[in-house]
């Protein structure tokens, strides 16, 4: 079942943050956590899963951080959702065999169809699209690795 969880929101926000604030250096998780208000304990777990699934690449060390593993126009919101759903391990009650005849033959098929339509839309929505929305909304950028001389 497609449900909106904190972990899912954090994952999408983190990937968009990395794409939007990409610079010559990797984006550090501490920067993402600070900018997006995501607790580090959630963030690190999600980022590692995104690395494992080829959405992000990680670099260890004092100058380490995260980058997109592919061009942002080739990463979809649907991919991120699937990664988080696997991490959360949530079952989909619409797919369970037990229930009333009306539930099994009428209600659940409608729900499953709506989920497919929503996932198709999310599979067509790229990180590039979300970065463009951020630009349109004039969200300030903080490029990784670019010195900040503000006092």
Distances (CA, A) of 59 to 78, 104, 135: 25, 48, 27
How far is the C-alpha of 57 from the C-alpha of 15, rounded, in Å?
A: 11
pLDDT in tens, 3-47: 788 889 999 999 999 999 988 889 999 999 999 999 988 899 899
In a domain, 15, yes or no: yes
In a domain, 141, yes or no: no
CATH, residue 28: 1.10.10.10
Look at residue 120 and give its three-state secondary structure: helix
Question: How confident is the model at residue 15, as a pLDDT?
Answer: 97
In a domain, 99, yes or no: no
The pLDDT confidence band at residue 126, using thresholds 50, 70 and 90, is: very high
Task: Say if CB 80 and CB 1 are below 8 A apart.
Answer: no
Which range of residues forms the domain containing residue 17?
A: 6-91+127-136
The pLDDT confidence band at residue 113, using thresholds 50, 70 and 90, is: very high
Please tell me the total count of domains within the chain.
1
Is the model more confident about 20 or about 94? 20
In a domain, 113, yes or no: no
Neighbours of 75 (CB within 10 A): 23
In a domain, 80, yes or no: yes
Please choose, from the candidates 30, 56, 59, 55, the residue with its C-alpha nearest in 3D space to the C-alpha of residue 43.
30
Task: Say if CB 144 and CB 28 are below 8 A apart.
Answer: yes
Is the model more confident about 12 or about 95? 12
Question: How confident is the model at residue 24, as a pLDDT?
Answer: 87
């Amino acid at each position: 079942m497609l449900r909106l969880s904190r972990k899912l929101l954090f994952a999408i926000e983190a990937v968009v943050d990395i794409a939007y604030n990409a610079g010559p250096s990797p984006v550090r998780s501490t920067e993402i956590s600070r900018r997006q208000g995501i607790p580090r304990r959630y963030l690190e777990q999600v980022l590692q899963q995104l690395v494992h699934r080829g959405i992000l690449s990680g670099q260890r060390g004092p100058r380490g951080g995260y980058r997109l593993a592919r061009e942002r126009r080739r990463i979809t919101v649907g991919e991120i959702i699937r990664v988080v759903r696997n991490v959360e391990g949530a079952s989909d009650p619409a797919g369970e065999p037990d229930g009333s005849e009306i539930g099994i033959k009428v209600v659940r098929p409608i729900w499953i169809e709506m989920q497919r339509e929503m996932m198709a839309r999310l599979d067509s929505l790229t990180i590039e699209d979300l970065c463009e929305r951020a630009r349109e909304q004039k969200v300030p950028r903080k490029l990784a690795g670019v010195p900040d001389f503000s006092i």
